[in-house]
Amino acid sequence: MRPQLSILFLLLPLTLGLPVWAEQPAATPQIATTYVNDAILPPSIVWHGASESLLLDGEAPWATPFEVGGFKVSPSYDETFVWLDKLVASSDLLHKVSLGKSPQGRDIWMLIASTEGADTPEALAATDKPTVLVQAGIHAGEIDGKDAGMMLLRDMVLGDKAALLDGANLLFVPIFSVDAHERSGQYNRVNQRGPIEMGWRTTANNLNLNRDYAKADAVEMQHMLGAINRWQPDLYIDVHVTDGIDYQYDVTFGYNLAQGLSPSSFRWLDTQYRPYVEQALMREGHIPGPLVFAIDNSDVSKGMSLWNASPRYSNGYGDARHLPTILIENHSLKPFKQRVLGTYVMLAATLELVGKQATSLRMAIKQDRYRYSDRITLTWGAQQQQQGWDFKGIDYRTEISPISGEKVVRWTGEPKLYENLPVIGNTLADIKINRPSAYYVAPQWLDVIERLAIHGIRMTTLTEPKTLKLTQYQLTAPQFGSKDYEGRQRVSAQLSAHGVQTTLPAGTVKIDTRQPLGDLAILLLEPQSPDSLLQWGFFNPIFTRTEYIEHYAVEPLAAQMLEADPSLQAEFTQALQDPAFAADAQARLRWFYVRSPYYDGQYQVYPVWRDE
């Protein structure tokens, strides 16, 4: 059962500095010791940082459920919004709107915080301030951002953090994956140190929302993309809790790389944002770092992996649509209280910096949106980075497990610096294409057109047939996924491009690539892009043959073809030089069928055209 929380909501007069409730002595800092998985996790490093001063005593009138619960619990969906509704009712700075309903009928709520009390996208835009969108619980068990955001909202409207809204607006989604949040229990994330009860990783439909940005299958994701299009944030923050190895960092975060589609945003994030936020975290007693992905979890000396995310992930999607996006990964082995406070400090520092650097941030976004690079990289290869990493790790030993019979890591809890570890990243450009001026999508592919619209990509529709010289791909040798992945059967194929003169029917959709979301359109429509709609299975019917020819008809047809075309006879003779082909009766008959006028001219032809 979830612990019962009893909260008294009283709005007391403010003193010259802090509200009366903030003057009460803070609770004695505690390290969580009541989690069911404590005994099987590596040793917990005792932590006390300056950010503990942000906590209220559980008896304070505006204590959050997290504070009431001794920093070990996170409230249910209903408890969360009972508390937030009271906060909204107490202040003209806050409003709450629904982004839409989940498959199980829950509202995905978003809080709007601005000094002007904006409650619509138009009103928010009229403030002319940059807007930060923070979402928590895309993986509902990784819920630190919800509790941190609740504390921060309280302190902005009732405490000493009001100035954060002077230069920036905040959009806050406390729980993104709302149905998964309510699939709560003590045993949901075995490698995470709190809260006592946590939500589930995937939606009620068992979809992972942080694999869904490009294909946008989940209703929840469609609502979020709609919100991004309507509210137009300048910075997007996605709060997670990581898995993997033990280390000293408690707050790690990353974003797109210099090699990606938003280089100006990368420079702003790397030279302005990271130093500012890391300094704020360190002042409050936290240890920030870049995203941590070990090449081998059992051997840290092999180095770290630098991640160039694709558009199925939040930070990769932000790169593609030129929305600076920060992926926070708090360390799962740090106690819940420490992670929540680190998130609070990071969000507060973000609002402070964005308010100060609004012009430079918006200039970087504009440069990326209207860059229109002539060459687009679709796939990336691995390469060692020039700069190594002095990694703040934890010492460990390895031993052979009597259970598995394999090498197992035993973390000691002792800090250890691993100097100049190699860093391998997928930063070597592999498949690159020339930027087309436009794409055309055949009108019958309604799901594809709908998904492009959900992303906010601008399109026009032909009102009458139009004859054009275009480029079209012929696909061959399709390779289908051996098992389902995220509700879809993925596919990749070899391709060849052919110039064609074709008459496009009325209803065909044109996508101009010289638009702010033109790069995203390219990654969704180029077949070789790993997150293209083709590879996600949206076009799988084109790989199905529906008409055939019987052998008794192929024989006389082949004889007619050879008699009518001597060059075809020469080509067939050459083909017979291949012993495998010559010995395969089926292949020989199919050779003629493919070259006959009876063959399906649309079989394995990609129903999207490029205008070069």
Phi and psi, residue 191, nearest 5°? -100, 20
Q: Please check whether residue 124 is in contact with residue 130, taking contact to mean a CB–CB distance below 8 angstroms.
A: no
- Which residue matches tokens 């001026």? 437
Identified catalytic residue from 182, 197, 329, 486: 329
Annotation marks residue 329 as catalytic = yes
How long, in residues, is the chain? 612
What pairs with residue 473 in β-bridges?
Answer: 497
In sequence order, which residues have a C-beta less than 8 Å from that of residue 225 and are 6 or more positions away?
Answer: 213, 216, 454, 455, 456
Distances from the Cα of 381 to the Cαs of 391, 429, 588, in angstroms? Answer: 24, 6, 39
* HEC-encoded secondary structure of 436-452: CCEEEECCCCHHHHHHH
Phi and psi, residue 113, nearest 5°? -120, 120
DSSP class of residue 198 equals B
Q: What is the largest CA-CA distance in the chain?
A: 101
Calculate the CA dihedral of residues 43, 45, 46, 49 and round it to 10 degrees.
-160
Phi and psi, residue 250, nearest 5°? -105, -30
Letter string b/e over residues 343-373, b meaning 16 or more CB atoms within 10 A of that residue's CB: bbbbbbbbbbbbbebbeebeebbebbbeeee
Residues labelled as active-site residues: 329
